[in-house]
Structure formats: structure tokens, C-alpha cells
Chains A and B, each alone.
Chain A
């Protein structure tokens, strides 16, 4: 459905994307993971045909997105990473405008989306909060029921409740056979919806994996607080991978082996256990380290 093939773009200064390749199958939800500045938006700009690849090409269905402008967009929904609307519009007039550019959309569908995302489309966009603008952008990307939806950091600015609504929306569309590509810098955010994901770092793809494989290799850091310091010392000797410790607290790094962790921890009196939020590099240290060694 969507093929990114050896796409390269080097900006003055040496940053950019290098030999980026991956394929998204029909009906698949594909995650595009990377830390800030990794090249996610740059890749998506190439997918949308905004930038000309120095090398390589992007195909959606049978269209080259750089050469065949105007033809592939009919079946595409797009949410930009940094949303910019034209001045002086309300949410409603913007959506009206986008509908007319698309030659009309199903009004019922559009109204339903607005209702589910819960925003007032009569508000001037200039006065909207970041999350509200994001919602307008999401409606614009979904309302014409496209075959492929490309979303650059779709949940940024959405509160947890709306993130949940968004995820439901994606899953519903997926059930109808819609193909998705969505970028994110947080693994937990995409693991609920995606089938596969690519991890990008410094402009290079370092892994394209099934989400279950990624879940299996992801590291989690648990912060365990013991009642007694003696227990802590015993725990430190249990052979689990210890990240760090301080006073009665120990941070344990767990990769897939949750059973062993719970069995060891169950031997002692524990005051609390927290999951420590990790950034992408730390979650997928395996991939990032391998890249570093190459």
C-alpha cells in the first residue's frame, strides 16, 4: 500500500534522513518511532510529496508521491506534526473549506467525529488551545474516509481521555481496513494500536519489527521501595539486573522476564512499586546499542 524506498535527504549541516526504507501493507497500522529530531517528520514530508527525495522514492498504491501529484491525495488523510491553519477561520469554516477542496465529504461522518472529539467548531482557530487545534486536524484527516491515513504525532496535545478516544477511532478504522502510518516518540502510545513499527534514529532506520517482538525486547524499569534495608541487600543479590539503588529503593531493569521479577520481589516486604518512564533509547537499548557498535 505504501512503500518508502531508499529515501535520502541531507540538509545543509549534515542532518537529514538516510536510505530510509519500509513498507506498510493494506489494513496495517504502522508505527514510526523515534526521539526528537530523528527524522520522522522529514520522512512524512517525503511521503506526502512536499519534499523531493535526493535518492529513492515513495509509492502509495501505484502513485509516486513526488511525480504523481494530485492523484494520490484523494485516498489520503494527513495530520501534520505542526498544525498551521489559514488565518481568520473557525474550526467549522476550515473543515468546510477542506471538504470543498476534497469535492465534498459525508457530513454525517464529519459531525460524528466532531461530536466524539468534543470540541466547539465555531471557535476561531486562533483562539483554540493546542489540543483543540489537534482535534480539528484529526477530523480533517479522518472525515473523508480515506484508505490511508498519515498522522505525525497525532496525540500530542490531547489529554488522556481524548487519547483514548483517538485510539478507539484508529481501531475502528483499522477494522474497516484503513491503513495507518503514525509517528510518535513514545512506545506505550503506539503499542496499543500498531501492528508493526519502525524505529528511526539520527535519520536512519534501525529496526522494523512486529509490535510483539518490540514488546518482548522492551525494557521496563521498576522502582521497588522496601520496608527494610536488609531486604534490599538480599534483593540486590538475587541476580536480577539492577539499574541503580539508593536507601531503601532499587531500580530493576526487566526485559520480558516479569515472572522472575515478581517471584523475587514477593520474597520481601515491599512498600511500593512504580514503573519508571523511560525514553525510547532506554526502552530499546538493544537496538540503539547495536547501532552504536556498528
Chain B
């Protein structure tokens, strides 16, 4: 870690990171706000969901229905929107932290200072993870706030389930950030890095979605990272955490370590 670099990079990215965090907080509050009006019609909504093809409901996290706030938030927010926000954050930010600096040439200034490439790369990875942590934390806090504000007494809130949702999302995106960081660290071209990371991340995302919708294609979700984050299962308590945690941490670590090592050894066109 190089502290001056960490500080400067956080400063450079603080604006976008807070936009993501507050955007996410805003959406989750919106979800809590509209829930009561949905709940009054939950029976007809549940009937509607039942009339839909089973896969479609699953794909969009509707299988738990609208009966409880946890089911609603896990399906509607953590099942889709939050995943999209964090996907975009991971792809954009990891590209900006490594590939862009190499592409533009400003990495040359960092490396002409008395620091090593490993320190630079570790610092950039730390900035990325700080952003991820910040967005998840702000969203979590907004969730508690939303419950207290729009739903009722916090003591009735399934706090455990909600925290696990956020933990699951953080772990998934630790892995996704690891992969997009690796792509960014080996690229000389910012646009290429962005394109490849986009294809990989949204590729995984789509595999998961298609696999859930179609029974014939259900194998697809098993090769997708995103299937390791199952919000509906987390709320129901049916997720076996051990393999999920191990796999996601391992993939994320492998991505970061590979990215840092390759960056140390490659010729840079600065």
C-alpha cells in the first residue's frame, strides 16, 4: 500500500463512488416506500406471479412473492437493481484504476516515484474494494433507515437476513471486482479493458438469468458466478454458506493476485 496514492485515488473517485452509494440508497428507500402499497394488493400480485411461467418469476426473484418485506426487498432490490448497480461500478471503476492510467500514460508518473508496481497495484485494488464496501454499507444503512421510516419498528425487522443479503452481495462483487481488476491490470487500452470486463460480467449475469428462466438451459446458471448470490434463498435460509463464501473469496483473491503479479512483470507502453 502507498498511502499518498490511496488518498489521492480515493479523492479522485469519491464523487462517483458516492453517486453509486447514494443512488443505491435512494433506490432501496424507494423500495421500502412503495412496499406498503404493494402489500395491500399482495394477494392479487401473488396470484399474478403464479400465473406467470415459473422461470420468469424466479429469474426476477419473485418466487418468494410480495407477502413480506424481506421477500420483496430480496427479490426486487437485491435480485436485480443492486446487482446491476454493483456490476457497473465494478467494471467502470476497475478499468479507471488501472487500464486508464496506463492508456493515458499517467501511470508513468506513479512509477517514476519511489514505489513499486506491486504497491501501486495493491493500492488501486484497495481503492476499488473501499468503494465496494462503501456502497454496500451505505445501502445497508439505508435499508435499516427505510424500514424504520416506512414500515415499522426495527425490532420487528429480520435484521439477520438483511445483513446476510448485503454480505452475499459484497462477496459476489468481491469476486467480480477481482476478475475485472485482472482484466484492467493486463490491458494497455482502456476501451478494450472496459469492453472485455463488460462482456465477462454481463455474460455471467445473463447466463444466470437465462438459466433461471429456462429449465432446459438451467445448466447455464451453474457456470455463472452470479448464481452464488441467491437473495431469495438467503432470506428463506436455504443457502449453504460455506462453499459460497469459499468459492467467491477464492475467485476474488485469485483475480487480484493474478492482476497484481502480471502487472508487476509486464512491459508498459508509457
Contacts and interface: CB of A to CB of B under 8 A. Distances in A.
Interface stretch (B2-10, B27-35, B124-132): B2-10
Given A85-B106, A85-B109, A69 B116 contact: yes
B114 to A, nearest CB: 4
Contacts, number: 76
Contacts of B238: none
Contacts of B265: 52
A80 B116 contact: no
B111 A101 contact: no
Contact of B114 (A82, A86, A97, A102): A102
Interface in B84-143: 101, 104-106, 108-117, 119
B81 interface: no
A224 interface: no
A101 B12 contact: no
Contacts of B119: 70
A101 B9 CA distance: 12
A71 B113 CA distance: 9
Nearest to A72: B114
B4 to A, nearest CB: 4
A85 B7 CA distance: 17
Contact of B113 (A49, A52, A102): A102
- The binding surface of chain B is classed by DSSP as helix
A71 B111 contact: no
Interface in B1-25: 2, 4-5, 7-8, 12
Nearest to A137: B109
B223 interface: no
B242 interface: no
Contacts of B112: 48, 73, 76, 78
Nearest to B3: A100
Interface string A90-108: 0000000110111100000
B216 to A, nearest CB: 45
Given A50-B268, A73-B114, A88-B12, A101 B5 contact: yes
B111 A86 contact: no
A39 to B, nearest CB: 14
B262 interface: no
- Residue from B7, B104, B108, B110 whose CB has the most chain A CB atoms within 10 Å: B108
B270 interface: yes
A83 B112 CA distance: 13
Interface string B252-267: 0000000000000111
Contacts of A102: 113-114
How many chain A residues sit at the interface, stated as a range, is 20 to 34
Contact of B110 (A9, A49, A101): A101
Contact of B106 (A69, A73, A84): A84
Contacts of A97: 4, 8
Contacts of B8: 86, 97, 100
A52 B269 CA distance: 10
B113 A50 contact: no
A87 interface: yes
Contacts of B114: 70-71, 73-74, 101-103
A101 B101 CA distance: 16
A9 B268 CA distance: 13
B265 to A, nearest CB: 8
Given A84-B105, A84-B106, A86-B106, A50 B111 contact: yes
A154 to B, nearest CB: 15
Nearest to B4: A100
Nearest to A87: B12
A223 to B, nearest CB: 41
B236 to A, nearest CB: 46
B7 to A, nearest CB: 8
B27 to A, nearest CB: 27
A278 interface: no
A70 B4 contact: no
A84 B105 CA distance: 5
B267 A70 contact: no
A76 B265 CA distance: 21
A26 interface: no
Contacts of B110: 101
Contacts of A85: 106, 109
Nearest to B110: A101
A140 interface: yes
Interface of A: 9, 45, 48-52, 69-71, 73-74, 76, 78, 80, 82-88, 97-98, 100-103, 140
17 contacts: A48-B111, A50-B268, A50-B269, A50-B270, A51-B269, A52-B265, A69-B111, A70-B116, A71-B114, A73-B114, A85-B109, A86-B8, A86-B12, A100-B7, A101-B2, A101-B113, A101-B115
Interface of B: 2, 4-5, 7-8, 12, 101, 104-106, 108-117, 119, 265-270
Q: Which 10 A-B residue pairings sit nearest by Cβ, starting from the closest? A: A84-B105, A70-B116, A100-B4, A101-B113, A78-B112, A74-B114, A51-B267, A73-B114, A84-B104, A50-B270
